[in-house]
Structures are given as C-alpha cells and as structure tokens.
Amino acid sequence: MEETGWTVSILAPRSLLDRPVRTALVAGGGMLLLLMLLLGLLMQRRRHYLERIALDSQARQQLELRVQERTQDLERLNSRLKQEVLEREQAQQELVQAQDELVQASKLSALGTMSASISHELNQPLAAIRNYADNAGVLLDHGRHDDARANLKLISQLTERMASIIAHLRAFARRDRHAPESVALQPAIDDALALLAKRRQAMQVELIRDMPDATLWVQAGETRLRQVLGNLLANALDALSEVPQPRRLWLSAELTAEGVDLHLRDNGPGFSQEALQRAREPFFTTKTSAQGLGLGLAICDTLMRALGGELLFANHPGGGAQLTLRLRAAAQGIKTQSPEDFVV
C-alpha cells in the first residue's frame, strides 16, 4: 500500500485453490476421455465397416467362383447330353436300318418258302396255256376258227391270272422305303372303303361303324395299311356275296395298352375249320380259281408283322368272320397321301 508503505499478504488455504484446478483438470480429462472414447468408437466402426466390405467382396468372389464352376459343370453336362443325344440318334438310325433289313430278310425267306407253291401256281396255267396253244394250232389247221378263238381267249384269261399272281408277289418282295410312320387310321379306312364303295353298294351291304371321333394314330405305312384294309374288306364282301340279305359289315376300333385294335366283322358264312387253320398260308383259298389267289391274308399277315402289329382272325360268336388288326399306337403325325401304288 503506497501511502503507508505496507505490504499486505492475504494467505488462503491451498485447498481453496486446488479445487478449481482439480475441477478443471477433471473436466478436461473427462472431455479428453470422451473424445478418445468417441474416436475409439469411430475407429471401431470404421474397422467393422472395412471388414464388412472385405467380407462382402470375398463372398462375392466366392460366389462368382461358384457360379463359374457351376457354369462349367453345366456346359460339361450340356455337351455330354448333346453327345448322348447324338449317340442315341445314331443308335436309333442303326436300329431302324437293322429292322428294315430284318423285315426284308423275313420277306425274302417267306418268298423262299413260297417259291415251291409259286412255281406250282404258275406252272399250272403255263401247262394249260401250252395245251390251248397247241390245240389252237390244230383247230386252225381244220378251219375251226371259232374254237381256236375260244382257246386264245382262255389263254388270255390264264395270262391275266398269272399277271395277278406276280403283281401280288411284288408286295412281298418290294423293299419298303419308309420305316413305320404315324398314320391316321380313320382316313386310311375311308380310302379303303371308297375303293370298294361301288361293289358294296351294289351288294347292298350295310356298314356299321363304331369309331372314336378323335383321330387314332397308328404305326404303319399309308400304303401298307390301305393295302391290308383293302384286302380284308374285299374278303368280307366276297364272304357276304355267299349269303342273302341282310348283309352287314361292322368296323370298330378299341384302344388297348399297346395301341389300337381294329375289328372288321361281317355276317357272312365265317371261316371254315380248315381256313381258320390255314388262311395265313400263301395260296390257301376256298374260292374258285377265278375268284381267289389265296395270297390276300398271307400278304396282310406279313405286312402287319413288318409294322410291328398282328393280324388275328376268328369266327364271331354271333356269326360271320371277325378279323382284328392289332396296331401299335403312334405319336400324332401329319395326314398325308402316299403316292405309292398298291395292289388289292
């Protein structure tokens, strides 16, 4: 104090000063701790985030790797499948070819066993032709022109019969160009019926059809199937010509586990006991030589077997003959007309 020259010292207890300092220090330390905690938290979150990104990218890489592996597996499987399909197609082709050759071989062997009967069948008219020709010469020498002309007519008829035998035999020997294909049954029946319509109408034969509306697809050949149907229908008309009215012809189809059974029944005299045993034999006939060659059912039987089907015949309990064509079912195909000619 200047006026007095005194110096006044005020002493305070240290504890009074320490407290604010400590408080400041504690507050500062607390703040620092908080900051460090915050910083630590942030660092941890960042690490987590980075770890997640790393994990994600690892997972993505693994996924991509697995996708690649799977794609490779699928490609390998695909090429194996393609290879298998190719092999199957090849095997199928070989099978069809083998079947074709087998059918041809069986036809040729049938032809072989038939050759004895064929030479007999052809030799008979040949011998008759020779006789008629020799006689015609003698008759001409004697000026009997009309008798000679009659002989020439008989010769002509006999050559027709021989030509007919040969035409039927062609059906056996012909190599079918096509493997069995999908054929619509109802149109084939219509075609076969159309060919015989005039004769059926002239004979007043009632046709009773019991066929499903939906087209039935069978394994066959257009031509071969029409040929078989034509032969069976012609036989039925022949049989019906032996009986008086009412003449009836039933056509019905039945779906079976393997395919389709087509039944043709007539109310004619039915098969004789001998015909039931022998009708499949070439040249077996109960008709006169002018009416029948005995080749129809033999050809039908061979054709049906070549198509993987069957021809069955029996007498119906209600009278008349019943023939059944057992045909294999086929996938739906395209309705076509075959250009091949055929013999009925």
Residues of this chain, 256-315, that bind ligand ADP according to CB under 6 A = 266, 268, 270-271, 275, 279, 284-287, 292-298
Nearest approach in angstroms of CB 251 to ligand ADP is: 13
d(C-alpha 317, C-alpha 319), whole Å: 5
What does 173-236 look like in DSSP terms, one character per residue? HPPPSS--EEEEHHHHHHHHHHHHHHHHHHTTEEEEEE--SSPPEEEE-HHHHHHHHHHHHHHH
Structure tokens at 192: 């076969």
Measured CA distances, 220 to 29, 175, 211 (Å): 103, 15, 18
Selected from 219, 235, 267, 302, the binder of ligand ADP by CB under 6 A is 235
d(C-alpha 182, C-alpha 220), whole Å: 6
Q: Which stretch binds ligand ADP (CB under 6 A): 93-101, 102-110, 235-243, 332-340?
A: 235-243
Nearer to ligand ADP, 97 or 164 (CB): 164
Measured CA distances, 185 to 130, 173, 249 (Å): 46, 25, 18
Contact between 192 and ligand ADP per CB under 6 A: no
Nearer to ligand ADP, 220 or 298 (CB): 298
d(C-alpha 188, C-alpha 325), whole Å: 13
Nearest approach in angstroms of CB 118 to ligand ADP is: 15
Nearer to ligand ADP, 296 or 309 (CB): 296
Contact between 236 and ligand ADP per CB under 6 A: yes
Nearest approach in angstroms of CB 298 to ligand ADP is: 6
Binding mask 312-341 for ligand ADP (x = CB under 6 A): ---------x--------------------
- The number of residues that bind ligand ADP (CB under 6 A) is 22
Nearest approach in angstroms of CB 227 to ligand ADP is: 12
Nearer to ligand ADP, 204 or 291 (CB): 291
Nearest approach in angstroms of CB 234 to ligand ADP is: 7
Nearer to ligand ADP, 88 or 287 (CB): 287
> In 3D, which of 303, 282, 326 has the Cα closest to residue 118?
282
Measured CA distances, 203 to 190, 194, 197, 206, 265 (Å): 18, 15, 10, 9, 16
Q: Which residues of 108-117 are buried (b: 16+ CB within 10 A; e: fewer)?
A: eebeeebeeb
Q: Are 264 and 251 in contact (CB under 8 A)?
A: yes
Contact between 250 and ligand ADP per CB under 6 A: no
Nearer to ligand ADP, 218 or 228 (CB): 228
Nearer to ligand ADP, 29 or 246 (CB): 246
Tell me the HSE value of 198 on the side-chain side, using a 13 A CA sphere: 1
The amino acid present at 121, given as its one-letter code, is E
> Which residues are at the interface with ligand ADP (CB under 6 A)?
231, 235-236, 239, 266, 268, 270-271, 275, 279, 284-287, 292-298, 321
